[in-house]
């Protein structure tokens, strides 16, 4: 196995919601040819499949990942491939296989090839017993399979750092709101879908109740957090490296719908909670990100007003 880390960056699950923005940001920062987008699927007319370096790669195929790392001179992996909460609770076996199995494949490859790894966690690591504003350190008792796989991921990330010195880092992303790509089967997808529905149909049936409050973040903040964490010097990264809390915006579904109604004439929203309400109810309202602030200087820039203005502006154009 190669012991010399390369210069290229491999992004797994690159055709998903975060990959759509992260690959572009990484290419802007490191150069178009330095970033290899990969995913288990191919999407017709997707910019990453049509242009730039793209490989079809399952994170469950360790041999194929070894080949890509060696052939493409990979030095860092941004590991985004996963099954999110709503899809995962419908298919818990697949969720465990991809989220835990895929992370093992990536960490093992990183150990053998001396790579750096970014492996995101989620606010889904918290369970109903967490305080409404979840601190960095609190018992993690998620009730969803997805949340359990994320806790396992954090533990593995920490173990590979402690046992093998693999430079692994992660963020507990809040629900992410973005316009370039649809959301990928999570419970927080309503906060993306509502914008498309408002502009296309003037109406949205929201699958969580009006008072559902969750930690959320605009994608630009999430991408900046990711890049800042990966740029931070090793000595500033502490025991939260498996999953730093980062706070963005905490709003209820009704507050979001009201903010859109103020800007889109005639927009209506009806609240029709389904099975995803239970997952949302098991998560905190907000997170305390003082450890990320202290360790690597994290600070969000988007509030609800700025996010809604920008989402509507971007999607209208």
**Contacting positions for ligand NAD (CB under 6 A):** 12-13, 15-19, 39-41, 58-60, 80-82, 84, 98, 102, 120, 122, 173, 175-176, 184-186, 188
Tokens representing residue 74 in the block: 């990979």
C-alpha closest to that of 36 among 55, 63, 18 = 55
Q: Is 190 a catalytic residue?
A: no
Q: Does 256 bind ligand SER (CB under 6 A)?
A: no
Applying CB under 6 A, among 38, 76, 85, 136 the residue interacting with ligand SER is 85
Binding to ligand SER by residue 250, rule CB under 6 A? Answer: no
- Tell me which of 142, 186, 243, 284 binds ligand SER, using CB under 6 A: 186
Contact 294, 178 (CB under 8 A): no
The whole-angstrom separation of Cα 192 and Cα 199 is 12
Please tell me the distance from the alpha carbon of residue 248 to that of residue 140, in angstroms, as a whole number.
21
Instruction: Pick from 15, 65, 81, 84 the residue near ligand SER by CB under 6 A.
Output: 84
Work out how close the CB of 175 gets to ligand NAD at its nearest, in angstroms, rounded to a whole number: 5
- The region of 100-108, 183-191, 294-302, 305-313 touching ligand SER under the rule CB under 6 A is 183-191
By beta-carbon proximity to ligand SER, the closer residue of 124 and 259 is 124
Q: Count of residues binding ligand SER (CB under 6 A)?
A: 9
Environment class of 127 (CB within 10 Å of its CB; exposed 0-12, middle 13-18, buried 19+) = buried
Q: In residues, how long is the chain?
A: 317
- Contact window for ligand SER (CB under 6 A) among 73-81, 129-137, 184-192, 201-209: 184-192
Query: Of 146, 160, 173, 190, which one is the catalytic site residue?
Result: 146
Stretch that binds ligand SER, among 35-43, 103-111, 186-194, 289-297 (CB under 6 A): 186-194
Closest of 11, 14, 78, 21 to residue 43, by C-alpha: 14
Helical spans, DSSP H, in 73-211: 85-90, 92-96, 102-113, 145-164, 190-200
CB nearer ligand NAD, residue 55 or residue 261: 55
- Distance from C-alpha of 148 to C-alpha of 142, rounded to nearest angstrom: 6
The mark string for 118-147 relative to ligand SER (x by CB under 6 A, - otherwise) is ----x-x---------------------x-
What does the alpha-carbon distance between residue 253 and residue 212 come to, in Å, rounded to a whole number? 6
304-316 and 190-200 are packed helices; what angle lies between their axes, rounded to 10 degrees? 50
Q: Which does 120 bind (CB under 5 to 8 A by kind): ligand NAD, ligand SER, none?
A: ligand NAD
Should residue 18 be labelled a site residue for ligand SER when binding is judged by CB under 6 A? no
Pairing verdict, β 213-218 and 249-252: antiparallel
Query: Which residue carries 């502006």 as its tokens?
Result: 313
Active site residues: 146
- Interaction site with ligand SER (CB under 6 A): 84-85, 122, 124, 146, 175, 186-188
């Amino acid at each position: 196995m190669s012991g010399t880390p390369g210069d290229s960056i491999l992004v797994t699950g690159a055709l998903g919601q975060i990959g759509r923005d992260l690959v572009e940001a990484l290419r802007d920062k490191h150069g178009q040819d330095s970033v290899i987008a990969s995913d288990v699927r191919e999407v017709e007319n997707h910019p990453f499949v049509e242009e730039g370096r793209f490989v079809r790669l399952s994170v469950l195929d360790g041999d194929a990942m070894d080949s890509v790392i060696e052939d493409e001179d990979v030095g860092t992996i941004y590991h985004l491939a996963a099954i999110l909460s709503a899809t995962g609770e419908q298919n818990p076996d697949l969720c465990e296989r991809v989220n835990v199995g895929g992370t093992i494949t990536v960490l093992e490859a990183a150990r053998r090839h001396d790579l750096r790894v970014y492996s995101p966690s989620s606010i889904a690591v918290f369970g109903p017993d967490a305080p409404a504003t979840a601190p960095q350190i609190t018992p993690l008792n998620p009730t969803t399979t997805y949340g359990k796989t994320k806790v396992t991921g954090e533990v593995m990330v920490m173990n590979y750092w402690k046992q093998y010195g693999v430079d692994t880092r992660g963020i507990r992303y809040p629900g992410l709101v973005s316009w370039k790509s649809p959301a990928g089967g999570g419970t927080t997808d309503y906060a993306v879908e509502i914008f498309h529905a408002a502009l296309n149909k003037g109406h949205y049936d929201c699958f969580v109740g009006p008072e559902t409050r969750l930690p959320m973040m605009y994608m630009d903040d999430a991408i900046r957090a990711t890049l800042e964490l990966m740029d931070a010097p090793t000595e500033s990264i502490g025991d939260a490296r498996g999953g730093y809390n980062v706070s963005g915006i905490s709003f209820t579904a009704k507050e979001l719908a009201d903010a859109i109604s103020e800007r889109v004439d005639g927009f209506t929203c009806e609240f029709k909670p389904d099975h995803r309400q239970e997952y949302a109810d098991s998560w905190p309202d907000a997170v305390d990100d003082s450890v990320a602030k202290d360790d690597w200087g994290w600070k969000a820039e988007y509030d609800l007003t700025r996010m809604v203005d920008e989402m509507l502006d971007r999607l209208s154009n």
